[in-house]
């Protein structure tokens, strides 16, 4: 993979400054042969952290002591196989509340392979908090991203944000306050998002245009939407597929939507538990989904958004989805947002646990139905209720009403479970310089 060139002037300045600091520097001499650089808080700590990342060698650890580090510019890393480690997500705090304009929108930006970020917090970034782009593997663990003023349209879009990456692991993290998604993984391949807490975001967790993603044992609560699995048009990675969402707790995601105008997640109704849109080969199982006031689980075609697109490769339909062995409680009692307000009258003012828009690719129908390998299969979800809204035949301006069905029979059965995602166990396993693609 091509690398961004190291900034030579920065490197020379770093050498001069470190040389002049001598014994007065709060950056300790490595005690392990140079593998670890330890940095203590102080007025010049942000500068010393950036210098350490510029001068780092593959395999090195930049370790930040407990304390608050106040940055006026973005922090970047373009050296492979470096670990940036704090003393804990509530102990080592990187604050970007006073970041100056024109110094980069992100808090921490990673453009190198095999980087590990762990045990620290990133707060109040003007843009995205922690961004990885076109790298692999990615490891983020025990990181907190937060906008401390609570939900606001002016907050940064994404908390933890790997995009166009491979072999992504995000675990044991906390994300709150993002005006788009607390944890977002987009256009990436081989993804595991597990054991995280997301709250107070527009979307708690969003998987977008990825292939082979496992999202499990997370808690999503108090967001506008808990877990979103979206495939969108006009993106380089093409259609998303092969996603498992399982053993999550998705409860009480009823926060008002505070996304900036024009953002696609701005159409997500407050009170959404899990939403699948235009994704194929999705398995949703073993989740506890409760008290999401608009809909506990929704399956939508991109056509429902009524947004135009120009992408001949794009498949806007949900197909080959398997929903089974979930627990549903409450929810659907107060549909909100444009989608909820528009459709609630079709269902008597409330939504069942599982809502399917019923929009299918008519060119794929066989005897009026999707073939078995493309069908939506819903099985063994206790007493969960269901509705097919048949929105392809809904046009209120023409007084055209859909044939709404609550019959689960066309969707009963089983499907072959999707395979678990396997990640590289460590950055050292990388043997080439090519970014994975599929």
How does the average pLDDT of the chain come out, rounded? Answer: 88
Question: Would 95 be classed as within a structural domain?
Answer: no
Question: Would 35 be classed as within a structural domain?
Answer: no
Domain containing residue 200: 128-423
pLDDT band at 338 (very low <50, low <70, confident <90, very high): confident
Taking the C-alpha atoms of residue 290 and residue 300, their distance in angstroms, rounded to an integer, is 20
Q: What is the pLDDT of residues 118-133, one digit of tens each?
A: 999 999 999 999 999 9
Q: Are strands 27-28 and 36-39 parallel, antiparallel or unpaired?
A: antiparallel
Closest CA to 225 of 162, 281, 271: 271
Taking the C-alpha atoms of residue 204 and residue 193, their distance in angstroms, rounded to an integer, is 12
- CB distance 390 to 330 below 8 Å: no
Q: What is the pLDDT of residues 61-112, one digit of tens each?
A: 999 999 999 999 999 999 999 999 999 999 999 999 999 888 778 999 999 9
Structural domains of the chain, count: 1
Question: Would 181 be classed as within a structural domain?
Answer: yes
Question: Would 90 be classed as within a structural domain?
Answer: no
Question: Would 145 be classed as within a structural domain?
Answer: yes
Question: Would 114 be classed as within a structural domain?
Answer: no
Q: Which of 169-178, 235-244, 365-374 has the highest mean pLDDT?
A: 169-178
Distances (CA, A) of 388 to 1, 204, 343, 380: 46, 26, 12, 18
Taking the C-alpha atoms of residue 59 and residue 428, their distance in angstroms, rounded to an integer, is 9
Let me know how many helices (H) and strands (E) the chain has, helices first. Answer: 3, 32
Question: Would 123 be classed as within a structural domain?
Answer: no
Q: Residue 220 pairs with which residues in a beta bridge?
A: 198, 250
Question: Would 316 be classed as within a structural domain?
Answer: yes
> What pLDDT, on a 0 to 100 scale, did the predictor assign at position 18?
34
């Amino acid at each position: 993979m091509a690398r961004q060139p190291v900034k030579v002037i920065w490197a020379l300045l770093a050498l001069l400054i470190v040389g002049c600091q001598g014994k007065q520097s709060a950056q300790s001499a490595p005690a392990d042969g140079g593998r670890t650089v330890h940095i203590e808080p102080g007025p010049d700590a942000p500068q010393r952290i950036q210098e350490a990342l510029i001068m780092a060698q593959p395999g090195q650890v930049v370790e930040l002591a407990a304390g608050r580090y106040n940055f006026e510019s973005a922090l970047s890393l373009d050296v492979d196989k470096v670990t940036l480690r704090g003393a804990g997500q509530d102990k080592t705090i990187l604050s970007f509340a006073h970041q100056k304009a024109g110094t980069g929108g992100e808090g921490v930006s990673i453009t190198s392979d095999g980087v590990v970020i762990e045990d620290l917090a990133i707060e109040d970034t003007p843009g995205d908090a922690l961004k990885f782009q076109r790298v692999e593997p990615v490891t983020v663990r025990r990181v907190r991203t937060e906008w401390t003023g609570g939900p606001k349209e002016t907050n940064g879009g994404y908390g933890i944000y790997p995009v166009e990456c491979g072999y992504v692991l995000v675990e044991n993290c906390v994300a709150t306050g993002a005006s788009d998604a607390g944890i977002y993984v987009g256009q990436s391949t081989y993804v595991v998002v597990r054991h995280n807490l997301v709250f107070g975001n527009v979307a708690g967790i969003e998987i977008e245009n990825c292939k082979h993603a496992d999202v499990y044992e997370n808690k999503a609560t108090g967001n506008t939407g808990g877990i979103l699995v979206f495939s969108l048009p006009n993106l380089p990675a093409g259609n998303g597929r092969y996603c498992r969402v399982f053993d999550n707790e998705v409860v009480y995601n009823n926060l008002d939507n505070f996304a900036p105008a024009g953002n696609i997640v701005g159409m997500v109704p407050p009170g959404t538990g899990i939403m699948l849109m235009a994704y194929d080969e999705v398995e949703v199982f073993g989740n506890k989904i409760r008290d999401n006031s608009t809909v506990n689980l929704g399956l939508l075609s991109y056509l429902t958004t009524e947004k135009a697109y120009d992408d001949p490769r794009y498949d806007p339909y949900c197909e080959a989805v398997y929903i089974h062995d979930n627990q549903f409680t409450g929810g659907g009692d107060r549909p909100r947002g444009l989608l909820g307000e528009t459709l609630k009258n079709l269902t008597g003012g409330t939504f069942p646990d599982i809502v399917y828009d019923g929009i299918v690719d008519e060119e794929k129908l066989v005897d009026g139905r999707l073939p078995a390998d493309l069908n939506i299969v819903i099985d063994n979800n206790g007493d969960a209720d269901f509705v097919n809204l048949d929105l392809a035949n809904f046009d209120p301006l023409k007084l055209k009403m859909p044939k709404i069905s609550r019959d689960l029979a066309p969707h009963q059965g089983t499907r072959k479970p999707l395979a678990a995602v396997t990640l590289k166990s460590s950055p050292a396993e990388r043997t080439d310089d090519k970014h994975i693609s599929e």
